[in-house]
Structure formats: C-alpha cells, structure tokens
Amino acid sequence: MKKHSVKHISYFLLPAAIMSLILSSCTTQFGSLPEGEYISVLEKSPNYHNGEFKNIEETPMMSGDKGKFEAWWDFVFASYPDIAPQTEIPHVKTDLKKLNLQDDLLIWFGHSSSLLQISGKRILIDPVIKNYASPVSFLNKAFLGTTLYTTEDLPDIDYLVISHDHWDHLEYSTVSYLKDKVKKVICPLGIRSHLEYWGFTPDKILEGDWNSHINVDEALSVDILPARHFSGRFLSSNKTLWAGFLFTTKNHRIFYSGDSGYGKHFAQIGSTYPNIDLALLENGQYNENWKFIHMFPEEVAQAAVDIKAKKVIPMHSGRFALSTHKWADPFIRLDKASIGKSFQLLTPMIGEIVDLNNNKQIFTKWWETVPSK
C-alpha cells in the first residue's frame, strides 16, 4: 500500500478510535440535543432552517486549502513552536467570596470564563474551571498557572450565562456543580436541552433567539445578540444556537461577543446599542483554515471600533491551545492593532480585579514576562 494511502486511511481511523474511547467514558457530558415538541419552538426562529441554525452571513467552517480531517490531523500531530507557555503565566488569586457585592468589577479566569459583578448582581460567563477543555483529560489541557480556581472558590451566582455548547464554553462538571447554586441561566435557543438533561429545572432557564431582550430583574437587562460561529458537542453541528450578550444596568453597558468570526453584525450592534462601556471580545484560536468562525487580532480591533466600545478586554486566549498560533500572539497582535484606535485595551492577569468604575486603572503586558523557547 502506498504511503499516502496509509496516511489518508489514518485520517479516518484515528479520529474514530479517539471518538470511540470518548464515547465509552463520558456519554453524560455530551448532553442532549433538542428533540420532540421543543423542535417546534426552534422552528419559529428566522435563524433556523432545515433542522439547524444558520449564520447571518455565509460562514464556511473550513476556509483553507486543507480538508477538515487533514487540518485536524496537522493540528493534533504537527509540531508548533510556543503553542503553550513553558512556565506558569502570571496570575493573582482573588478571594471571590470576599468581594464586596456593591463593587462593579470583572475577574477573568482565562479563555472566555469571567465573573462580572454589576449593580449588585453576580454574572458568571462561560465558566470552564477544570484543567482541560474537552470530554477527556488528555486533550486541550490548560496552561501552567491557569488552574488556580476550583468550583468551591465560586461565590453565589445570580446569573449563569452560556454563549454556546462547545466544550471550552459549556463544561459539564462546572455547570453541574452550579445547578443548585445559581438563580437563573441565560442562554441562546437549544442550550436548554443540555441543561435539562443535566438536571436544571425549566423555570431556571431564560433562553432567547438573536435580538431577544430579557428584563431579568429591576437592575439588569440582557440582550441576546448575533455571533458568527457554529455549535455542537460531537458529530451533530448547529442544532443549538450560538450568541453574544449585552448586559445593561443603570451605570454600565457591557458586551460579550461569545465566539465569533468578524462580520457585519458588529456594526449593526454598534448602531443599535450605543454607549458600550466595555467589550469582552474573542481574541485567539484563529487560523486561516477556519478564518470565518474566529477573529484574527486585527479584526478584533476593528470589531471594537464597529461597536464603538470605550474599553476592550480580550477573551478566548491565555489558557488553552485550540489552534496553531503561538500562545502569546493574540495579546501581542491585539496590543499593536489597538494603537491609535478609539478604545482603551485592558489586559488583566487571570484573577486580577478590573474596577469597572476606574478609568485610570493600568494593566501590565504580563505576557512579555513569560519566557519563550
């Protein structure tokens, strides 16, 4: 048999073997897709067609010269320099349970996980607390120095926010721990199927389509907004929706992009929702092979300009290597791309308190202190 034939066969056999192992060890973690009468709810969405959700713009998952399996193979088995730091990245462990509830603040946990505290409400966004972003512990392991928090460190939470059902945003053990410790969950359409399968009661779940407005209480409203991405925890894609969010209180308007490629939706958000004080924008895991579903840092800077954000904190980097770029490149490139722009770039360390009412707070370029190979 020719060498290239063996390799091409391996593209299919190895993923199949890995998936078989995953399925045999952790089926509960996969959750449950929408089914039965709930499908009729999804079918009312203008973003749902032929059994799946669609992006506003045409969005191919794979965009490079390589096919899906070839790109996957290269990502798993090829060698990439500095894809992960060689030493611990700088961090601070703030005692979350001793935070003054009246302080407006944000604490980043790495990747896209953060604790947002505004108007006396605690909002936990896309929490992934364990040290890997996959159904099994040997894939997508967290960087050194990024696993300082455990679920037991979390305070009582008013609102748990889930942007979509990928493993690095919806993590079974964390949300299961929080099942009886959060008042409500806010999520896009379809996510409730996973949550109810894991024991959440329907009355706890506030779901919505893109451009849904939810007055969650007297102090806080949440808009569920478009993103340019996809969903799925195993073989089925786009059966649940993906989204960004806008959190509005008397004193603050904060936007979280969720995972999103660059698109026209950012300018639309900027026009519809003026005076965004802070934008939490995905910035990492980009690649030419999937350039429509994740932003490059220069696109992140443009998205910030599009939504007219006053301040920006980069998300989706600093904890996991889910692409082939150097681990620090998202910070280096966004820092450069932000020069002369209309927003202020904030770069807190993991665990560092961001005072939302302090316009003079300074953050270091902490990634520059981590040695490369």
Question: pLDDT by residue (tens digit) across 248-302?
Answer: 999 999 999 999 999 999 999 999 999 999 999 999 999 999 999 999 999 999 9
Q: Helix, strand, coil % (nearest 5) of the chain? A: 25, 20, 55
The C-alpha atoms of residue 117 and residue 104 are separated, in whole angstroms, by: 5
What is the predicted pLDDT for the residue at 137? 52
| Bridge partners, residue 114, by sequence | 108, 125
C-alpha dihedral (87, 130, 95, 362), degrees to nearest 10: 50
pLDDT, one tens digit per residue, over 321-348 is: 999 999 999 999 999 999 999 999 999 9
Q: What is the pLDDT of residue 193?
A: 98
Using one digit for the tens of pLDDT, what is the confidence trace for 108-151? 999 999 999 999 999 999 999 987 666 665 567 899 999 999 99
pLDDT score for 299: 98
48: its two tokens: 């749902």
State the DSSP H helix or E strand holding residue 224, giving kind and residue range, or none if neither.
strand 221-225
Q: Give the 3-state secondary structure of residue 297.
A: helix
Fold of 96-369: Metallo-beta-lactamase; Chain A (3.60.15)
* Distances 37 to 41, 42, 43, 193, 236 between C-alpha atoms, Å: 7, 10, 10, 12, 19
In the chain, what's the furthest Cα-to-Cα distance? Answer: 69
As a whole number of angstroms, the distance between CA 323 and CA 59 comes to 19
Which pLDDT score is estimated for 183?
A: 97
| Residues β-bridged to residue 212 | 224
Domain definitions of the chain by residue range: 96-369
Percent of the chain's residues with pLDDT above 90: 82
* Residue 1, pLDDT above cutoff 50: no
Residue 9 confidence (pLDDT) above 50: no
